[in-house]
Amino acid sequence: MTKKFKDTSITNIIVKTIILVVLLLFAISYIAILVWGFLTTLKSKASFEFDGNVFGFPSILEPEFYQLKNYKIMLENLDLVVKDSFYNAGKLVSVNIRVPFYMSIYNSIVYALGTAVLSTFVTCIVAYVCSKFKNYVFSSIIYMVNLFVMVTPIVGSSGVLMELLRKFGLYDTLTGIIIPGITFTGMYFLVFYAMLSDLPNSYSEAAEIDGAGRLRIMFSIIIPLVSKTISTVILLKFIATWQDYNTALLFLPSHPTVAYVIWYYTVGGGRSIKPELGSVPIQISSCMILALPIIILFIFARDKIMGNVSIGGIKE
C-alpha cells in the first residue's frame, strides 16, 4: 500500500511539473510577443527594414526611441474618411464624412461596454430562471436550445441580420448592432447555470419568509451573490468586443471603431491612401494602441479575470 501511494505521488508530481512547464512556456510566448512589439515601435523604418534590426534593441540615438515618434505619426493619421452608399429602411443613404479618431474611441466604448453589460445580465437572468425552475418544460427547452446553438455552426447569418437591420432602420447605428449581441446563448450561460444551481435554496427561502417576491429575490439577493462572476464575464466580453473589427466592417460603415480603423490602415488597404503608415514599426504601434486598454484592464482586474470568484453565505 505504501509503495503504491508513493508511486501515485511521484506520478502526480511529474504530471503537475509537465503542466506547469507547458503553461509557463505558453505565458512566456505571449509576454515575448508583447515585449518584441513594444521594442519594435521604438525603432525607425530604416533600422527595422533596411538595417535588418528585427529582433535587436532600438538605438537610443534615434528620435523614434525617446520621442515615441511612431505613436505620434499613427495617432495623427487615424482619422478615417468614410465614403459609402447603402440602403436603410428602404432609402438610399450616401455618406461622405471624416470621422475623427476620438469618435472611433467613443464608438468602441459604447459598442463594447453596451454589448458586454446587457448580454451578461440577460444571460445571468435566463440562467437563474432555468436553474431554479428545472421542473418546467420551458426551462429544459431553453437549456437545450443553448446547447444546440453552441454545437451547431450557423453559416450565413450575417446577411440575414444585415437585411433585418435595414428593414427596421437600425443599420449603421450603434443601437442596431448592440441589440443582436444581447443573447443568452454561449459558454457563459453554462457557467451561470452551474453556479446558480449550486446556490443553496436557503437564500431564497429566507427572503420569502421576509415577504420578498421573485423579482426582489433575483435582483436583491441572487445577482449580488454572483456579482463577481458577472463582473468577470463583463470584462471578458468587453475584451472580445473591443478587438472586433468585423462588426464595424459589415454593420457600421459610418461609425468605425478603433479596431476597424487600425485594421483598415494595417491590413485592409488604407496604407495605399496614407503611405506614411506603411512601415512595420508604425503598424505595430497601431496594434499596441489597440492592445493598451486591454493590457491596462487586465493589470487592474487580473484577479477577477483569473477566476477569483467567491459567494457569500448564510449562517446555518
What domains, with CATH codes, occur in the chain? 77-305 (1.10.3720.10)
Which band of pLDDT confidence, cut at 50, 70 and 90, is reported for residue 270?
low
Is 284 buried (19+), middle (13-18) or exposed (0-12) by CB count in 10 A?
A: buried
pLDDT tens for residues 216-262?
Answer: 878 888 888 888 888 888 888 998 899 888 888 888 888 899 999 98
Q: Residue 306 has which C-alpha cell?
A: 483569473
* For residue 81, pLDDT beyond 50: yes
Place of cell 534593441: 57
Q: What is the pLDDT of residue 313?
A: 43
The pLDDT score that the predictor gives to residue 316 is: 38
Nearest Cα to 253, choosing from 310, 171, 312?
Answer: 171
Q: Tell me, what's the pLDDT at 275?
A: 72
First to last CA, the chain: 40
Dist. CA 85–CA 95, nearest whole Å: 6
Q: Which amino acid is at 172?
A: D
Phi–psi pair at 311, nearest 5 degrees: -125, 135
Handedness of CA 167, 147, 306, 311 (dihedral sign): positive
What are phi and psi for residue 85, nearest 5 degrees?
-135, 135
Q: What pLDDT, on a 0 to 100 scale, did the predictor assign at position 215?
A: 80
**Higher-confidence residue: 275 or 265?**
265
The 10 Å Cβ neighbour count of residue 188 is: 21
pLDDT digits (tens, 9 = 90+) for 82-124: 888 887 877 888 888 888 989 999 999 999 999 999 999 999 9
Measured between alpha carbons, how far is 88 from 252 in angstroms, rounded to an integer? 12
pLDDT on residue 314: 43
User: What's the chain's average pLDDT?
Assistant: 82
CA 116 – CA 142 distance, rounded (Å)? 21
- This prediction has a pTM of 0.81
Of 53, 33, 35, the closest CA to residue 43 belongs to 53
The single-letter code of the amino acid at 289 is I
Angstrom distance (rounded) from CA 84 to CA 107 = 18
Half-sphere exposure for 18 (CA within 13 Å, toward CB): 5
Write down how long the chain is: 316
Cβ(126)–Cβ(142) under 8 Å? yes
Q: What are the tens digits of pLDDT across the range 17-71?
A: 899 999 999 989 988 988 898 888 888 888 887 777 788 888 777 777 777 888 8
Strands (E), the chain: 80-88, 91-99
Q: If you average pLDDT over residues 296-304, what whole number do you get?
A: 74
Q: Does residue 211 come out as left (phi exceeding 0), alpha (psi in the -120 to 50 range) or beta?
A: left
pLDDT for the residue numbered 214: 77
Res 309: pLDDT: 43
pLDDT digit string, tens, across residues 137-184: 888 888 888 888 888 777 677 788 888 888 888 898 899 889 888 888
Give pLDDT, residue 27: 87
Q: Is the dihedral of CA 262, 266, 272, 275 positive or negative?
A: positive
DSSP secondary structure code for residue 312 in this structure: -
Q: How far is CA 191 from CA 112, 131, 196, 197, in A?
A: 21, 11, 9, 10
